[in-house]
Amino acid sequence: MTRPVAPQRLASLPVLGRQLRGTLFLEHEARSVLNPPESTGIGCWSFNPYVGCEFGCSYCYARFAHRYVTERARDGGLIDAATFRNLRGRRGVEGFEKNIFVKRSESVLRALEHDLSRIAARSRGIPAKETLVIGTATDPYQPAERKYGITRAVLQRLRTAFPLRLEIITKSPLVVRDIPLLCELKQRHRLSVNISIIAASRSLIRLFEPRSPMPHARLRALARLTAAGINAGVLVAPVLPGITDRVSSLRKLLEAAKEHGACYARCGPLRLYPAVRPLLLPILERRFPRLADRYRRAYTGSGAAPPAYAAALKCRFGKIAREVGVPTVDPLDASGWAEFEIQLALPLGQSGSRGASGAAALMPSGASTER
């Protein structure tokens, strides 16, 4: 589907390609590639091969990363003000799925050497002491990966890296392309592949994720991974209060995950950060008008879910998972991936009463009348 483009430059940013549906791919020089835990606060190293994501989920909190890179390009004189506005999109957030920055593979591999030696030093000879998560702010198997192969290049290098706790998060069935490589990696690293999926319903997926793969394609990929002996499960995040948190919706999804061989299932509630609001709230107003107001009341301050809601969700999810027979803890990592625990611990505001009223607006209910 990719149309060859004549070599050109957008101000000083090399254009790598443009897809028929209008997505623009821009080259991005990577100075360092693995983000250390202290720079992100998510308790692990992370790697994101692209900045932006063509799947364009309306709830995606990673839009901030795209914004940061475009601002840096403008401040560094690589683009002018008009190009900056175009790259960011009409409301300042749509550029995330339309103008994708591709990290140049040579610079990625060069920087990776330095970062891997830092990880090895911190590991102090203890295998899998350090965790690396691929795909915390972009999908590493989005359509661009088919052409640019940055994720694959990094995984190939990891075949000889110091043993890590290694996790991949994706919505894309393209991950099965790398099954032979993943089988090699699991011999060296403690590897998990998380198939991200918020619901089994096609209509809900299309409403919130305009260009992501359909649920059946993701579940088929899950089955292929687990059949190959790879530790893989589902990441049900973000759970949308009042929409995908119903018992029936969660049960349907977990039953499908079980049927497709999921080794585990984890969940996390929606984070309604400022960059998410302009895209998600209009959808809620259109399709779930009563919920839109409840979201506004519940999500204040940091944008994290009210702790009482998060706890209730965790409880509900755990109960259904037990009934269905899917563990909620990755067998390779008894303590689970730290991010969601950190999320629950985030301070939501000053007073307990605010947290409580926010949660009351959202508490999981099996009898929501919104749909």
Catalog residues that contact ligand SF4 under the rule CB under 6 A: 53, 55-57, 60, 62, 138-139, 171, 212
Minimum distance, C-beta of residue 170 to ligand SF4, in the bound complex (Å): 8
Q: In 3-state terms, what secondary structure has residue 90?
A: coil
- Which CB sits closer to ligand SF4, 166 or 205? 205
d(CA 315, CA 321): 10
- Which CB sits closer to ligand SF4, 53 or 257? 53
- Which CB sits closer to ligand SF4, 30 or 60? 60
DSSP secondary structure letters along 252-296: HHHHHHHHTT-S-EEEEE----TTTHHHHHHHHHHH-HHHHHHHH
Minimum distance, C-beta of residue 60 to ligand SF4, in the bound complex (Å): 3
E-only strand ranges, the chain: 2-3, 9-10, 13-19, 24-28, 34-35, 45-47, 50-51, 99-103, 131-134, 165-170, 190-196, 232-239, 265-269
Minimum distance, C-beta of residue 101 to ligand SF4, in the bound complex (Å): 13
Minimum distance, C-beta of residue 11 to ligand SF4, in the bound complex (Å): 26
d(CA 9, CA 26): 9
Minimum distance, C-beta of residue 151 to ligand SF4, in the bound complex (Å): 13
CB-facing half-sphere around the CA of 284: CA atoms within 13 A: 21
Type of residue numbered 136: T
- Which CB sits closer to ligand SF4, 136 or 328? 136
Q: In 3-state terms, what secondary structure has residue 50?
A: strand
- Which CB sits closer to ligand SF4, 60 or 161? 60
Minimum distance, C-beta of residue 288 to ligand SF4, in the bound complex (Å): 19
- Which CB sits closer to ligand SF4, 60 or 321? 60
